[in-house]
Amino acid sequence: MIEFAIGNKRVGGNNPCFLVAEIGINHNGKISIAKKLIEEAAKAGFDAIKLQTFKVNKLFHKDAGTVKFSSQEYSIREVNKRFELPEEWLPELKRYANEMGLVLFSSVCDEGSADILHKYGFPAYKLTSTAITHHPLQVHVARLGKPVILSTGASTLQEVREAYETVTKYNPEVALLHCVVCYPTPLEYANLLVIRTLADNFPKAVIGFSDHTEHPYKAPVGAIAMGAKIIEKHITLDKNMEGPDHFFALNPEQMRLMVREVRRAEDIIRNGGRIEVDKVLLGSPKKVVYDIEQYSKRFSNRCIYAAKDLRKGEKLTKEKLEVLRPGNKARGLPPKYYFPLIRGEYILVNDIKAHEPITIRDIERVK
């Protein structure tokens, strides 16, 4: 069975399930909250802490729209700016987590953020479900030489295959996490049978589960029964804290409960026993985009825009393109067109204004 190291932990194979406590944006902009979450995850028995590292101008389109936050309307960029991780936190949190016996790694949403994490020796990189078609970022991260964890929510099996093949051209150490992009995910949409679908289709990947259901352990225990070797779950100090990800995250008591039940399930399986999984959780084995994910896929999955005014027939370079979450902006081409565009396999057949989408109607394959 495939396995590799993330920091001082072995992941996959016959090793215990790698349990990841996701802080994400639940630090609310305060390093003291981030450190307290690290402490609680260590007390609960998690193996790792995960952050989210991004620069908002490289994440959402400038015209992505607005969202209500703290009873007021703000631009999507303004709201996400509040949750950017200051670079100076990274070495401090890494040191603190390591002292607590935890591995610290992070999701990355842009190439620059990946390079910053690389500078501080982060041991793995996570790409969120919204980056499942972001081939340029996948290549950049794969080349950094550390394990790459791909969440696979709101995607088809073909999209997962394309992402997996993109990464493994440069890096064989890949984990694929079944995930449903809905916060929270109703139990009937957990579709844990997809874990086996991923295992069958990608036998050289470590398979896991990024869980957004509210129950602390039903879906994680079911995922263990399906063979998951990584479980990721959001954590919080208090579900009533301000912010979009607190209410469905595990509080400290639930963290301990989840770890206990997952380890108990592993013991049962190790001793030849069997875990009965509720049919509601099993769902369908088909790896498809579910109805409850359609909005998120359209809103957050990356696409290609013009970084500056472009003229018909102009040669495209990476400086002339930007790959962003559209929000409410019209969508452009999916990022799998990025490399063919800059290799000159397509030409522009229309002028395009800066920050406008490049669509299939704007390009023509060179004969």
Instruction: Flag whether pLDDT at 264 surpasses 80.
Output: yes
**Same domain flag for 138 and 226:** yes
In the block, which residue shows the tokens 């990584």? 230
CA separation for the pair 334, 131 (Å, rounded): 10
**Domain range holding 83?**
3-282
CA dihedral defined by 82, 84, 85, 88, rounded to 10 degrees? Answer: -90
- Give the C-alpha distances (Å, rounded to integers) separating 214 from 144, 217, 245, 289: 34, 9, 11, 21
- 37-86, pLDDT tens digit by residue? 999 999 999 999 999 999 999 999 999 999 876 677 889 999 889 899 99
CB-CB contact of 332 with 305 (8 Å): yes
**Same domain flag for 15 and 107:** yes
Please tell me the pTM assigned to this model.
Answer: 0.96
Task: Confirm whether 311 is domain-assigned.
Answer: yes
**Same domain flag for 354 and 229:** no
H or E stretch covering 33: helix 31-44
CA dihedral defined by 78, 131, 153, 128, rounded to 10 degrees? Answer: -70
pLDDT at 79: 84
- 129-184, pLDDT tens digit by residue? 999 999 999 999 999 999 999 999 999 999 999 999 999 999 999 999 999 999 99
Instruction: Flag whether pLDDT at 126 surpasses 90.
Output: yes
Q: What is the secondary structure of 145-180 as a DSSP string?
A: -S-EEEE-TT--HHHHHHHHHHHHTT---EEEEEE-
- Retrieve residue 85's tokens: 């991780």
**Same domain flag for 190 and 54:** yes
The count of structural domains within the chain is: 2
CA separation for the pair 367, 181 (Å, rounded): 39
Q: What is the mean pLDDT of the chain?
A: 97
Phi-psi group of 225: left, alpha or beta (phi > 0 → left; psi -120 to 50 → alpha; rest → beta): alpha
**Same domain flag for 70 and 205:** yes
Query: Which residues are CB-neighbours of 167 under 8 A, at least 6 positions away?
Result: 138, 139, 141, 142, 148, 150, 174
Task: Confirm whether 39 is domain-assigned.
Answer: yes
**Same domain flag for 223 and 349:** no
Report how far Cα 328 is from the mean position of its chain's Cα atoms.
Answer: 21
**Same domain flag for 102 and 204:** yes
CATH number, domain containing residue 360:
3.90.1210.10
